[in-house]
Amino acid sequence: MTVQKSIKLRSKSRGFHLITNEILESIPSIKNFESGLAHIFIQHTSASLSINENADPTVRLDFEAFFNRTVPEDISLYKHTLEGPDDMTSHIKSSLLGSSVSIPITNGRFNLGIWQGIYLCEHRNNGGSRTIVVTMIGE
């Protein structure tokens, strides 16, 4: 069986946001899968997806601080700055983290580790709503 759904995520501020529950609320058909794989893809080049710590919010703050130090918003470093100092830096951060994650499905649920959650990594100051595509394949 295969199910695919586009999900429009609520607009989020710049930073790293847990979206696991927001995704699960949008894909009730996951309960029909005994085993399988969920592929989650973001249709944007200035935001990314990652799986990491779901309990301590300081982890998400540290991620934001790390990426801001690693990819500084110094407009003199980049040519692609038409949309402001967070333009090219957002594309770089998105490429470093990636545009998709894959998660096993077991007994109608994401088979994540106890401390894992799905992050929307919003790299723009004003990114707006984001669209992801969830494709579930299994039985």
Other C-beta atoms closer than 10 Å to the C-beta of 33 total 21
DSSP per position, 23-37:
HHHH-GGGGG-SEEE
pLDDT tens track for 96-120: 999 999 999 999 999 999 999 999 9
Q: Each residue's pLDDT tens digit in the chain (139 positions)? A: 999 999 999 999 999 999 999 999 999 999 999 999 999 999 999 999 999 999 999 999 999 999 999 999 999 999 999 999 999 999 999 999 999 999 999 999 999 999 999 999 999 999 999 999 999 999 9
Go through the domains of the chain in sequence order and give each one's CATH number: 2-138 (2.60.120.460)
Alpha carbon distances (Å) from 93 to 89, 97, 118, 129: 6, 6, 17, 18
User: What pLDDT score does 91 carry?
Assistant: 97
Number of other CB atoms surrounding residue 98 within 10 Å: 13
